[in-house]
Structure 1
Amino acid sequence: MSGPTYMQFHLAFLLPVVAMLLAAATVTRTRTIRSTVWPVGRPIYWTGVAIVTLVAVIYTTPWDNYLIARGVWGYGDGRTIAHLGFAPVGEYAFFVIQPILTALWLGQLTLRPGWPELSGLGKIADWGRVLEVGRLGLGLRLIGVVAAVSIGVFGGLALATPDTFYLGAILVWAAPVLFVQWVVGLPQLLYQRRTVALGVAVPTLYLWIIDRVALATGIWYISPTYTTGIELFGLPIEEALFFLVTNLFVVQGLVLFRWVVDRWA
């Protein structure tokens, strides 16, 4: 065996960052008065993290195993220790670590005060405002439905040719989750768009960098047969899209969880 293993990858690039973010969170939990996604004194945020992580593992496992079996990607000789199905143990560890890393980062970010249905509607007599907000929310949710369905249809078409197969697999896999999240709370996500964008962008950029390192060192590889050949700074565009989408799942899920908690508190 030559080169780093999958577990060494976790030890070098993921666990230290999780530890640093956890240390930062420990400090800010006792000092901040900002309205953050992870509110001070309310550990229920981690109930949301646990739910998102569990859903991620359950939803991703069969998809991941299928693509490995299909040969879309694989692992260097001696780089993995053990497998559950077609996926190595390190892959399942990634399913758990990534949401925690993203959640720790997101938990430091601030929220806009209030929510679309809750802000500006304090007077029960303002029924015109209630109807206006209701119509706007319905319209945004319909846009979300059309967007998610379009993503799924485009992904399905992309599955038909080998060089767009991985791209199509990502889009078809992503579409149902985006459909649910956008139908449930696209108005809330747009209201908190700055937090959502920053929450997604930073961990995604970091994961792009370390994914590029893993590919360069042979921990895993992506089959050229099933990819477009388009790269982003040496990273296959499909890999870049995968980490963007998965972080979007986590961030949107946790922001919506916070909205639900606030709504029913």
Structure 2
Amino acid sequence: MAGLEYAFVHAKYTIPVAILLTVLLQPFKTSVDNYKITYLLIIAITAATPWDSYLLTNKVWTYPEHAIIGITLWKIPFEEYFFFAVQTYITSLICILAGKSIIPTAFLPTLPITPSSPSIEEANLKLQKKKHLVQNDYKRLRRIGLFGAIFIASLITIGVKLVQSGGQVPRKNVLIPILLPTGYLWFVDSLALKKGTWVINPEKSFGIKLWKYLDIEEALFFLMSNILITFGQLAFDHTLAVINGFPEIFNFAIPSWPSLFIMIRGLGISVRNYTPRRVSNLRDAILKLQNKSRSFSLASSVFEGRLRIDLVLLYAFCRNADDLIDEAENREEAQKALVKLSDALSNTFSYRRSEKSTFKIQNKLKPPISMLYNLPEEMASSLEMLPIEALPIKPIQGLLEGFGMDLQFPSSDEKENKTMPGGEFPIKTESDLKRYGYCVAGTVAELLLHLVFHHSPTKNIAKKERAEIIQAGVNMGIALQYINISRDIAKDALIGRCYIPSDWLAEYNLTPAMVVENPDRPEVRILRRRLLRNAMEIYYQNRGAIEKLPTHGGARKGVRGAVENYVEIGRVLLERDGEMPIRNDETVSKSRRLWVFVKALCA
């Protein structure tokens, strides 16, 4: 039957791969991914049509009439157009999948901050001069009739330059989407050439073969086209990284499908206009996230744009604040650090909200106000990068209150002196436990949801409903903290802490000091089950609110994935009731965590 041979190649080799990659990426896929793929498909088909039509007109390659369905446009078979699209689609999906673990803004190049750096006006003037020179160059190129060839060569050069300008983009993000589909398409093309589905004209070929049935021209075509597609994806990523990474330049909400004007503007921003401190702090925040929280690190791959960046910066602040207190030499130093941080927080909020000029590029050489309070550089930087314009201060103050509750536990000196009566521990009642859960986890959930609503263009959520969703998020945070406490009973005991309420322990004639001395008691396991049941009850009561979250920025998927991933720890603890894990990574295996996460995204 006519058209079977050409169609058979796609039906057997390219379409199944496209479907498989779509299924693999679908849970992680965002509106921005669809945006990049759509525009790149348009570009690829538009660019490929003229030269492929030229090749067929000049019989550089041909195909038997019986091998196609018969529909052609500019002498190009319908199946060839389909191949333009499917190759671009497959390579783009691989590129997107490979890049899910990174935030492109963190890989932007930066210049050192020096007083001799040119002003914004000078940089813009240079940019305008460059644009003028480029326009003149194009006029000369048109006069000599080589515009097409030079333009294509320029695109490749720009692509290489953009990849190189990223500086530290992982090699896998470039090599995998180039080499993997290239190797596969070499294999498929060899089969088609062997069968005669399409034929390279030997008179217009170098006669060099990569192997028996694959001409060097075909091999280079697939390699170069996949390089162009990958560079195209990276060029989109580069531009979006600039647009989303510098709200002081693009001080407006970025839509899921940015206009061509916004993209061109983002591409034209000079590296001299980037904010080096923001890029550097984002890199540090990502590293902190990857090292400290596997659950949220995995979930962050679903969030997109500015929401993802702000969530990572929020996490870094919370983690740095926790480390500032926990890593103090003694309780007195920890309390001093807490007071410093509290003062810096209040003053930074006040300053940033009254002096909007802080966000202007002209002031990027100004030291962070938080540095004036003698905070460690990492802590000061994370406070300075906190997206204060989108956050209320009360939950952050609540977080610091939770750190203060941790400082109420007996110090190492008190433990050595055996002065550890149960009343000295701060978690005396279930009410204290709930308050602590709110302070160290509910507040974080509250802040996260404020960022979600801040970055969402959704206007149809009533103020009352929004407040109810945020409260449900706070409750969910408390539930997750209960799970965290249940997991770390033995680990906390090593540092002299017991978060099980003293009045619960009293029911079994135990004190917190006895749990610290020996956490592996049958009574403690019973109380752990009680705490886990409370956590699961709160979880089931509030998880419905997740489905009311906006979908913009991957918010709903990301929150659902993060929550389910953490709740799985509780489920595993209930399954392994006879064990008392101390190491965090012993609780849930990586494979199970990934499976739960993917199921949550597909729900």
TM-score by length of 1: 0.71
In the TM superposition, what are the counterparts of 1:101-116 in structure 2 within 5 Å? Answer: 101-110=90-99, 114-116=106-108
**Which residue is 1:230 aligned to?**
208
Instruction: Determine the C-alpha separation between the residues in 1 that align with 2:116 and 2:160.
Output: 23
Query: What is the CA RMSD across the aligned residues, in angstroms?
Result: 2.8
CA distance in 2, matches of 1:94, 1:129: 52
Q: Distance in 2 between matches of 1:189 and 1:196?
A: 12
In structure 2, what is the Cα distance between the partners aligned to 1:129 and 1:80? 64
- In the superposition, relative to structure 1, how do residues 229 and 115 fare at CA in structure 2: closer, same or farther (>3 Å)? same
> Take 2:226 and 2:42, find their aligned partners in 1: how far apart are those partners?
15
Structure 2 CA distance for partners of 1:70 and 1:185, relative to 1, 3 Å: same
Q: Give the letter for the 2:227 counterpart.
A: L
Instruction: Say which SS state the counterpart of residue 207 (structure 2) adopts.
Output: coil
Quote the Cα distance in structure 2 between the aligned partners of 1:252 and 1:127: 32
Q: 2:79 aligns with which of 83, 86, 90?
A: 90
1:178 and 2:160 correspond:
no
The verdict on how the C-alpha distance between 1:20 and 1:264 changes in structure 2, with shifts beyond 3 A counting, is: same
| Long gaps (5+) in structure 1 | 30-39, 135-170
Query: Is the counterpart of residue 7 in structure 1 residue 7 in structure 2?
Result: yes
Structure 1 distance, partners of 2:190, 2:40, is 26
* 1:200/1:130 CA distance change after superposition, 3 Å: farther
Alignment CA distance shift 1:256-1:215 (3 Å): same
Q: Any conservation in 1 of the 2:108–2:238 contact (CA below 8 Å)? A: no
Residues 246 and 93 from structure 1, CA distance in 2 versus in 1: closer, same or farther, beyond 3 angstroms?
A: same
Letter of the 2:232 partner, please give it.
G
Cα shift at 1:209: 0.4
Distance, in Å, in 2 between the alignment partners of 1:65 and 1:180 is 26
Question: Contact 1:204/1:243 (CA < 8 Å) preserved in 2?
Answer: yes
* Rg larger for: 2
Change (3 A) 1:13 1:173: farther
Preserved contact between residue 162 and residue 234 of structure 2 (Cα < 8 Å): no
Change (3 A) 1:190 1:207: farther
What is the rounded CA distance, in whole Å, between the counterparts of 2:159 and 2:14 in structure 1? 27
Q: 1:75 aligns with which of 56, 59, 63?
A: 63
Conserved 8 A contact 1:65-1:85:
yes
Alignment of 1:74-223 (within 5 A): 74-81=62-69, 82-110=71-99, 114-118=106-110, 126-127=113-114, 174-184=152-162, 186-188=164-166, 191-223=169-201
Q: Which amino acid aligns with 1:230?
A: I
Pair 62,108 (structure 1): closer, same or farther in 2 beyond 3 Å: same
Q: Distance in 2 between matches of 1:26 and 1:84?
A: 33
Q: 1:93 to 1:127 in 2, by over 3 A?
A: same
Which residue number corresponds to residue 34 of structure 1?
none
Query: Greater relative contact order (Cα 8 A, min sep 6): structure 1 or 2?
Result: 1
Identity %: 27
Match of 1:255 in 2: 234
Partners of 1:8 and 1:251 in 2: how far apart?
27
Aligned to 2:24: 24
1:151 is aligned to none
Instruction: Kindly state the Cα deviation for residue 117 of structure 1 after the two structures are TM-superposed.
Output: 2.2
Contact 2:36–2:236 (CA under 8 A) maintained in structure 1? yes
Give the structure-2-normalised TM-score.
0.32
The SS at the match of 1:71 is coil
> Structure 1 residue 173: deviation in Å?
8.3
**Cα distance, 1:180 vs structure 2:** 3.4
Structure 1 residue 179: deviation in Å? 2.9
Deviations 1:115-161 (A, max 9, x none): 2325x86xxxx228979xx9xxxxxxxxxxxxxxxxxxxxxxxxxxx
Q: Provide the residue aligned with 2:501 in structure 1.
A: none
Distance 1:189 1:255, change over 3 A: farther
Distance 2:97 2:186 in 1: 21
CA contact (8 A) 1:4 1:217 kept: no
Q: Distance in 2 between matches of 1:88 and 1:130?
A: 55
Task: Sort the Cα spacing of 1:128 and 1:89 in 2 relative to 1 into closer, same or farther, 3 A.
Answer: farther
Q: Tell me, yes or no, if the aligned pair for 1:174 and 1:245 is still in contact at 8 Å.
A: no
Q: Aligned-pair distance for 1:255?
A: 1.3
Contact 1:3 1:218 in 2 (8 A): no
- Distance in 2, Cα, partners of 1:223 & 1:252: 30
Q: 2:41 aligned to 49, 53, 66, which one? A: 53
